[in-house]
Amino acid sequence: MTAVDPKATFRGPTPGERLDRALETLRSSGRVGIMTHIVLGYPSVEESYRIVDCMVQSGVDIIEVQIPFSDPTADGPVITAACQSALDGGVRVADAFTFMKEVTSRYDVPFLFMSYLNIAFAYRGGVNASDKKNTGLRAFVGEAAAVGACGLILPDIPPEQTQERYPENCRDFGVHPIYVVSPNATEKRLQMIGQVASGLIYATSRTGTTGREMQLELERLTLFLQQARDICKLPLAVGFSISGRQQIEALRGHADVAVIGTHLIRAYEKDGVDGVRKELGELVG
């Protein structure tokens, strides 16, 4: 990868501005957008390209690309198994950057990286790798920007994590640090997140891990979403356990984006890319 100087790179739009424009379009339309999720390399990198193409052609608004990790603590059994399968198939972080560069140059849809702090902290390639100040998390953020990622979702990085200068590094490279919050977040924690987050807030529809079948606890959820919006002053994406159009419509007026992950992996496992296309035909408004 080519080394990137953030001050020299973004004379034009920053990567994060692609996400900003998409969210502005959604807010003006009044509809709930769709963010889909893939685990890169599941079942193969080649098939990941086909799945992304299907998602774009189906009209999704944002795509989240998960870099597989051996201990994905915020994910349920379906995504955990997909991560392990991708790792067993030899997928590594460098493959994720290559993939992101290709899809961001091919499609106008904003793409986000999702992974975990250990992946970013251990990164030693890419941006100015010979400069000790540009290793680890900073190098990871810079490389993500260089390949066109609009934002990063690292669910295990807390807002009080300051020693790695995560939000500052994201601002340097024009990438949004997207924080994950759950309905049990305190007002104090939401205030902390509001001070460091940008782009959007990723709110879970419940506590725990993704993928369990359940009805959204709508009354509790909407109260939480209103509190998060009031405090953080950012658009909201809601994920975990969303699998139907009715659930998406229930978020209208309360959230900007619905995140669909486990449901589409199950659809793929049943009927391949055609299964993903069929489900998205029913989910995309």
Examine the residue annotation and report whether 47 is marked as an active-site residue of this protein.
Answer: no
Q: What gap in Å lies between CA 234 and CA 4, rounded to an integer? A: 28
Tokens of 85: 């399968």
**Active-site residue, from 20, 64, 143, 279:** 64
Burial label, 140 (beta-carbon count in 10 A; 0-12, 13-18, 19+): buried
Residue among 173, 129, 136, 150 nearest 63 (CA) = 150
Examine the residue annotation and report whether 64 is marked as an active-site residue of this protein.
Answer: yes
Cis peptide before 43 (omega within 30 of 0): yes
Q: What gap in Å lies between CA 92 and CA 5, rounded to an integer? A: 25
**Active-site residue, from 5, 17, 47, 75:** 75
- 135 neighbors 122 (Cβ within 8 angstroms): no
Torsion (CA) 177, 183, 186, 192 in degrees, nearest 10: 10
β-sheet bridge partners, residue 176: 151
Q: Is 174 helix (H, G, I), strand (E, B) or coil?
A: coil
Residue among 94, 95, 93, 3 nearest 49 (CA) = 95
**Which residues are designated catalytic?**
64, 75
